[in-house]
Amino acid sequence: MPSFSLDALADAAESETQLSKKEFPLMPVGQAVDMGFTDDGVPLIDPRIFDSPEFFRNPYPYYRILRDHYPVFHDKLHNTYWVTRYEDITACYFDDEGFNTIPKGSSSGVLGNTQLELSGVEHRRRRNLYGQHLVGKSLENRIPAIERLAKEMIADWENLGEDVVQDKDGVRTVNIAAAFANEFPIRVVSEILGIPKDAQGQFFYWYNSMMAGLGGSATHQMGLEARQDLEDYISDIVEQRRVTPTYLYDNDGNPISKDIISKLCETKIDNDYLSTEEITSNIALVIGGGGETTRGAILNLWYLLLQHPDQFEAVMEDEANWDLAFHEMLRHSSSIGGQPRHNTHDVEMHGVKVPAGSLMEMVDFSANHDDRIFKDPETFNIFRDDLYAGKILRSGYNKDGKCSHMAFGVGPHLCPGAWISHQETVVGSKILAAHMKNPRINLDKMPKDIDGTSLAPIGLISVRDLWLDYDL
């Protein structure tokens, strides 16, 4: 039996670490690092690029290489198969037998027993529990609360500290991330769920901790503790609402519908009321869908529109264009990157054999920039003629040369927060636009790209801070 010294093992571990890391130069947006070519002239892909700052700020030239030359790329470093073409991803999302679930344990640890990791009949039954509360008339009933909360937050701007709001010479400079976008969707979700006012401050802690807990082992324990704290609190609320439901109100103070917790308390499966755990897990999904996605959507939308003044002017002249801008923003710079899947049987795609049970990443970012579907995909254009911008459909849309974006996915596992995010982003943005006269990006306070002059690209992450100036 061979023996190894501790020094040799340490040297081997260090060598392996170095092999898994590599510095890649930051390239002009739209240009890829030269990673070499095959004898046939095909550009090579070094999977270490996927962990680099270059990829996070400038991903689309690398997705183009994958789509054109490696549409199903076996990334042995990350033990993942990347699926990057629009049509392939669509087919996988709708194949409920072959690619029917996200990997077990990827969400349930913090969010609880949610429908995300279910499939087939059980998934459809779970989804229908709360789907009725997120669309149609229920969606319309939330508008008064959204409008009121947005106006309340904006009215309070003058009371925020100078690290968020600064007034000088008739101009207000405001970080709309800290002053509005970070907290606005959480306030809305808290209200429509029916969380009492005196607990909404604690609700922010639950949300922030649970979302952080999805990000890695360092914050996982905090997320678990927050979810347990939420479940303990909700269990008492549920018992109260089973007896005495509470309501959402219109702008005149008249009740228009029961809040979501009250409605879930009345919901039955197989003639049996939902358990507290089932209600809590549904609430956790609504929190995630109505929180982080909306925060990123608001900031990305304003960041892109204000860099395209003609398009912002068109939105200001016709409010109907906010919906066009919302969908094009999600196609161009979504804050939702894709959905992992496990294939339930061996499959072969584009000559690549994928064994059953493999981790397959459906890269929605790439699908949204597939030039087989969208012309000149790196250009932000709210009036493009190849993007469907109507009501969000689980079935997707592909008709008369128009296709829906992939920001929320399609099919059975379309993001449950899609409709919430759309409504809150558009309604909240209309109210922001009505309040701010001549808004523009404060260039001095915003990060720059590698040339030191251009604004930093969004890349794979949503804008974190957005400093705007507007005339008082």
Question: Taking 50 as the threshold, does the pLDDT of residue 168 lie above it?
Answer: yes
Please spell the DSSP secondary structure of 299-326, one letter per residue: HHHHHHHTTSHHHHHHHHH-TTHHHHHH
* β partners of residue 362: 83, 339
Please give the Cα distance from 48 to 21 (Å, whole number). 6
Cα torsion at 280, 286, 288, 290 (round to 10°)? -150
What integer pLDDT is reported at residue 253 of this predicted model?
86
For the stretch 329-349, pLDDT in tens is: 999 998 777 888 889 999 999
State how far the alpha carbon of 38 is from the alpha carbons of 45, 69, 426, in Å. Answer: 10, 11, 47
- Between the two ends of the chain, the Cα-to-Cα distance in Å is 79
Question: Taking 60 as the threshold, does the pLDDT of residue 120 lie above it?
Answer: no
Question: Taking 70 as the threshold, does the pLDDT of residue 444 lie above it?
Answer: yes
Tell me what the mean pLDDT of segment 241-259 comes to. 88
Which of these ranges, 4-13, 18-27, 142-151, 373-382, has the smallest mean pLDDT?
Answer: 4-13
The two three-digit tokens of residue 218, written as one number: 């360092």
Are 129 and 266 spatial neighbours (Cβ–Cβ below 8 Å)?
no
Mean residue pLDDT across the chain: 86
Contacts of 364 (CB under 8 A, 6+ apart): 89, 334, 336, 337, 338, 339, 406, 407, 409
The two three-digit tokens of residue 354, written as one number: 């994928």
CATH class in words for 101-336+369-404+407-471: mainly alpha
Please give the Cα distance from 294 to 428 (Å, whole number). 10
For the entire predicted model, the pTM comes to: 0.88
